[in-house]
Structure 1
Amino acid sequence: MFKSFTLATLLLSSFSFSTLADTFTLKSKDITAGGFMTKAQEFNGFGCDGSDLSPQLTWSGVPEGTKSFAITVYDPDAPTGSGWWHWQIINIPHTVTEIATGAGNATKGLAPKGSMQIANDFGYRGFGGACPPKGHGIHHYRFTVHALSVEKLELPEGASGALTGYMINANTIATSTIESLYKRD
Structure 2
Amino acid sequence: MDLTRPIAPDPYALLPRVPSFTLVSDDVADGAPLADQHSDAGDVSPHLRWEDIPAGTRSFVVNCFDPDAPTPAGYWHWTVFDLPATITTLATGAGQPDGARLPLPALQARHDGGGAGYTGAAPPPGDRAHRYVFAVHALDVESLGLTPEATPTAVAFNTLFHTIGRAVLTPTFQR
* 8 Å contact kept, 2:109–2:148: no
* 8 Å contact kept, 1:69–1:92: yes
Shift of 1:23: 6.2
Equivalent residue number for residue 170 of structure 2: 179
* SS state at 2:132 partner: strand
| Residue of structure 1 aligned with 2:119, choices 116, 123, 128 | 128
Q: Which amino acid aligns with 1:146?
A: H
**Residues 112 and 157 of structure 1: CA distance in aligned 2, closer, same or farther (over 3 Å):** closer
Equivalent residue number for residue 158 of structure 1: 149
Equivalent residue number for residue 106 of structure 1: 97
* 8 Å contact kept, 2:95–2:102: yes
| Residue of structure 2 aligned with 1:31, choices 23, 28, 32 | 28
Equivalent residue number for residue 48 of structure 2: 57
Unaligned ranges ≥5, structure 2:
1-18
Give the share of equivalent positions with the same residue, in percent: 38
**Residues 57 and 157 of structure 1: CA distance in aligned 2, closer, same or farther (over 3 Å):** closer
Number of residues paired by the alignment?
157
* 8 Å contact kept, 2:20–2:167: no
Equivalent residue number for residue 9 of structure 2: none
Q: Could you tell me the TM-score, scaled by structure 1's length?
A: 0.82
Q: Could you tell me the TM-score, scaled by structure 2's length?
A: 0.86
Q: Which portions of structure 1, spanning 4 or more consecutive aligned residues, are displaced by more than 4 angstroms?
A: none
Q: Which amino acid aligns with 1:168?
A: T
| Residue of structure 1 aligned with 2:109, choices 112, 115, 118 | 118
Between 160-169 and 92-101, the greater mean CA deviation after superposition: 160-169
Q: Quick one: distance in 2 between partners of 1:113 and 1:157?
A: 13
Which structure is larger by alpha-carbon Rg, 1 or 2? 1
Unaligned ranges ≥5, structure 1:
1-21, 44-49
Higher relative contact order (CA 8 A, sep 6+): 2
Shift of 1:108: 6.1
- Deviation by residue 1:151-181 (Cα, 9 ceiling, x = unmatched): 0011255212211110112110000000000
CA RMSD between the two structures: 1.4
| Residue of structure 1 aligned with 2:39, choices 39, 42, 45 | 42
Residue 128 of structure 2 corresponds to residue 137 of structure 1: yes
Q: Which amino acid aligns with 1:34?
A: G
* 8 Å contact kept, 1:99–1:112: no
- Deviation by residue 1:111-132 (Cα, 9 ceiling, x = unmatched): 1221000000010121111000
* 8 Å contact kept, 1:25–1:60: yes
Q: Quick one: distance in 1 between partners of 2:20 and 2:142?
A: 21
